[in-house]
Structure formats: C-alpha cells, structure tokens
Amino acid sequence: MVVVTYNRPSSLERLLKALKNSYYGNDNVDLIISIDKSDKEKVVKEIADNYNWNVGNKYVRTFKERQGLRNHILKCGDLTNSYEAVIIFEDDIVPAENFYKFSKEALNYYKNDSKIAGISLYSPLINEMAEKPFAPMQDHSDVYFIQSAQSWGQCWSKEMWNDFRSWYENNNTLKTGYDMPSKIYSWPETSWKKFYMKYIVETNKFFVYPYISLSTNASEIGEHAKQQSNMYQVPLLHGIKDYKFTDFENGIKYDVFFENMEIGECYLGINNSNLCVDLYGTKNHNFYKRYVLTKKRMNYNVIKRYSLSFKPHDVNIIFDETGDDIYLYDLGEEVPTIIKGKIDIKKDLDFNSVLPWKYSLIKGILNFKEYIIRRMFKHEK
C-alpha cells in the first residue's frame, strides 16, 4: 500500500489514522509513505516517521529533488514490480474501513482480464467531464465498468501497470483530439491521469468501479485544486461487506464520456457501431453516427422522443418514457461534418439540480464572488 504525500501534513495525519482503523484480516500489508520534496518536507516526514504501523513493514521514502505529481505517481506505480499489486492513496483521500478487502478480492477476480486497466475504490456521483450528476445502472453485482482512470483511491496489479508503462514509453506527450472529453486535454502536464485516460481509450480498456464507494475525496487545496470544495465527496461504505463480482462481458459499462454503452443494443435495438449516445452533450460531432441519442435539438429526422421524468436520464429510455426532452435521431446514411443544436438549458438545469432554485441562486452568486476575488488577487500578483 502506498501513501502519496507532498505538503499537507494535516491531510496525511487524517489518512494515516483512517488506514490504521481499516480492516486487513490476517494479512501482512506493507506501507510505503512516499514524500515529494517541499518546504514542509521536515514536518511531513516527522509525521511519517512517528506513525506506528503494526500490520506489516513501514517504509518512508523521500526525494532529493521535487518530482511533481505525474512523476511521483509513476514511481509509486512502479512499485508493482516489487509487490505484484499496489493500492494508491494521495493524502487528501479518506478510505472506508473495508477498502482492503474489496481491493484484494477485485484484483484477484480481474487479474487475468485484459480489458481491465485498474480497480477504483472511489464511486462517483458526478460526471466529472460534464459536472452533472451521475448514477450508474445497477445489476446483480457490486461493480460496474467505466472507461475512465481513477486517482481518488485506486489499485493496480503488476500486469495492469506494466501494460500502461509500455504504452507510456511511446506516448508521453499528448496531442489534443476528439476521442476524449476536451476537459481532459486541458489538465496540466503534471497530471498522470490524462495519460492513463488516453491509454484506456486507445486500448479500449476499463476500470472496475464499486457501486458503494470505498474512498472519498476531501477536496483540499493542492497541486491541482485551487480551492476547497465538497463537490466530489461521496458517502462511504461503513462496516464489512462481502462482494459479488461479474465478468466484464456481462457487466454494466460506460464510455469515457460517462455514457451508457448498453442502451443501443439492449433497449433500442440498434448496434453500438451505428449509435452515438450523447445524453450529457459533451461529444464532438466527429463522434456522431447514423443514429444519435441526445438532448440536443437538431434539424434531423426524429425516430423517437423521450422525457426527463426519471433519474438517471438513461432510465427514461429503458422505461420507454415518451416526452420531448431526449431525441433519437436518424442522420441519414452520411454523417454531416457540422451539426448545430442546443439543449433545453432550463429543463436540463431543473433535472440535474439537487437544490431548490433559491439555494442554487445563492450558491451561484457566492461562487461567482469567489471567482472574481481569485481573479483580482491573481492580477495583483
């Protein structure tokens, strides 16, 4: 198990406390606390040195020079060559007490599946790419699959990590494209995750995600977070749970845009090769195919109309809920090069909001105020 830390001593203390209170059965689990160089290195290392870890061996690792987040994570992932598998926590993550049991069982179940690129401990409630609510369909198992890497609690086997490393050797620079949400390409060069995302998309692999989260993000100010927010915090599992896994082929799947990959063949009778699902509206027109399922209003033949009566939005297609909010278009035999269309913004806001309009308005005003203040201070510097 690897703890990745930099310059947040209080965050490190909270994470180490949570790890001590977690369940490991009778296993011997080594702990590596990897500390990147900073002006707070002395106090961070003191916390690590004084921490009592009685489940296995403890190692404290420091660096002579600043690594940066991408290189730091790469070095931590490389520890799979010594341990066969690693569980990674950055210092602003809080794990659930059952995280180790889930990680161990999931790694064992999927270790020989070439479609799996990693195991996530975090279960999102928001589509990070669109910043809108996300709720996956549920089946008989405790996991589903997303074509998305995870950095808020994750684990890799030696094989999973080395497959990525082999790809990365020839792909350590990225060119902007349309194969992933544009937001990913805007992430800073210190992001390791955007490279792992590109790897997943190019090789058509997936991460395993639990329905009930085994980690949450404290969302504290750090290298990639300029302000604290609870936007991505999620409820944690409490207590010990037995898990039921499913084979990849039989599981619920989402693409890198968090769009349901089961809708076409299962509920519309359309082969996935002929259908583009764009319910979040984040796909570029280059993705559009013969048939498009979207909330956008476009000047093309509408085959079917659905409402936004139920959450999540893809359930309305499953229920065949007729309305005028989601449209299944037939674009004809040739895919057009330019597609113009808009989503009904008011309806979409009403559907995705979890707060009454008054609270949403107040939150919007306060967020705008904070944005203006940050811009002013940035300008002054």
**Which tens digit of pLDDT belongs to each residue from 267-277?**
999 999 999 99
In a domain, 325, yes or no: yes
Give percent of the chain above pLDDT 90: 77
Where b means 16+ CB within 10 Å and e means fewer, 120-148 reads bbbbbebbebbebbbebbeeebbbbbbbb
In a domain, 38, yes or no: yes
Give this prediction's pTM.
0.90
**Cβ proximity of 307 and 317 under 8 Å:** no
Residue 162 sits in the same domain as residue 310 = no
- Residue 240, pLDDT above cutoff 50: yes
Q: How many Å apart are CA 276 and CA 129, to the nearest integer?
A: 17
Alpha helices (runs of H) in 272-356, residue ranges in sequence order: 315-318, 345-352
Residue 153 sits in the same domain as residue 288 = no
**Cβ proximity of 214 and 101 under 8 Å:** no
CB atoms within 10 A of CB 263: 20
Terminal Cα distance for the chain, rounded: 40
Q: How many Å apart are CA 164 and CA 7, to the nearest integer?
A: 28
364: containing domain: 346-380
Class of residue 6 by CB neighbours under 10 A (exposed 0-12, middle 13-18, buried 19+)? buried
Residue 207 sits in the same domain as residue 310 = no
Q: How many Å apart are CA 98 and CA 94, to the nearest integer?
A: 12
Residue 116 Cα to chain centre, angstroms? 15
pLDDT band at 22 (very low <50, low <70, confident <90, very high): very high
Question: One-letter amino acid identity for 63?
Answer: F
Residue 338 sits in the same domain as residue 350 = no
Residue 59 sits in the same domain as residue 145 = yes
What is the reported pLDDT for 381?
A: 39
Q: How many Å apart are CA 35 and CA 7, to the nearest integer?
A: 8
Query: Count of residues for the chain?
Result: 381
What is the reported pLDDT for 61?
A: 97
What is the reported pLDDT for 224?
A: 46
Residue 82 sits in the same domain as residue 167 = yes
Residue 224 sits in the same domain as residue 304 = no
Residue 52 sits in the same domain as residue 167 = yes
Residue 203 sits in the same domain as residue 306 = no
In a domain, 111, yes or no: yes
Residue 380, H or E segment: helix 357-380
Question: What is the count of structural domains for the chain?
Answer: 3
pLDDT band at 299 (very low <50, low <70, confident <90, very high): confident
**Cβ proximity of 281 and 288 under 8 Å:** no
In a domain, 260, yes or no: no
In a domain, 262, yes or no: no
| Cα dihedral sign, 59-63-67-71 | negative
What is the reported pLDDT for 380?
A: 45
pLDDT tens, residue by residue, 154-202? 999 999 999 999 999 999 889 888 999 999 999 999 999 999 999 999 9
**Cβ proximity of 152 and 91 under 8 Å:** no
Residue 216 sits in the same domain as residue 294 = no
The tokens of 218 are what?
């404290």
Classify residue 266 by its DSSP letter. Answer: I
Q: Which residues contact 22 (CB under 8 A, 6 or more apart)?
A: 95, 96, 97, 98, 99, 100
Residue 199 Cα to chain centre, angstroms? 14
Residue 130 sits in the same domain as residue 88 = yes
Phi, psi torsion values for 273, nearest 5 degrees: -70, -15
Residue 175 sits in the same domain as residue 250 = yes
We report the CATH number of the domain holding residue 125 as 3.90.550.10
pLDDT greater at residue 354 or residue 4: 4
Question: Tokens 């499953």 belong to which residue?
Answer: 318
